[in-house]
Amino acid sequence: MLNTISNLIIPLMVLLIVIYGLYKNNNIYDSFTDGAKESIPMILSMFTSLLGMMLGINIFLKSGFLNFLLNFIKPIFELLKIPVEILPMALMRPISGSSALAILNNIMSSFGPDSLIGIMASCIQGSTDTTFYVLTLYFGSVGIKKIRYSLKVGLLADFIGIVTSIIVVKILF
């Protein structure tokens, strides 16, 4: 039943928009094409920012720096009795949402959603944001060049979200 409803939501929304446009006597097709024309310059302005971000993420991942960072931080996590399996996700979440989601999926497949690691990873996923993506896409699309303070505050918020998630999960579970 829920699967059927979820499959019908978008077509029903489109149908409601068309019915509303007909009710208001709007030329729906012209409105659609005008909106599509207006979006092309915005897409082109965001493309360079996204391309640069994707290039940077791939260089970061392929360079082996992530593995170096993991090996550097791993003894600290073991000393604090924090599962080291969440470390890749905690490091990747501010950089790439899709990479963090893939790591979360791997954690859920390996340890299960009800495990300490699964709950901790879920809390980290929900308590942090993709800071670099937000800065690149949103600031780049409107032409903001000076992101220094925004980057610091965003990464600090991510760090606080990660630490708080770990502490709360360790206390409650």
Residue-wise pLDDT tens digits, 57-108: 778 778 888 788 888 888 998 899 899 889 888 988 998 888 889 899 999 9
Confidence of residue 159 (pLDDT cuts 50, 70, 90): very high
What average pLDDT is seen over the chain? 88
Distance, CA of 33 to CA of 121 (rounded, Å): 43
0.85 exceeded by the pTM? Answer: no
- Residue 154's pLDDT is 93
* Cα dist from 124 to 13, 59, 77, 92, 128, whole Å: 33, 24, 15, 11, 6
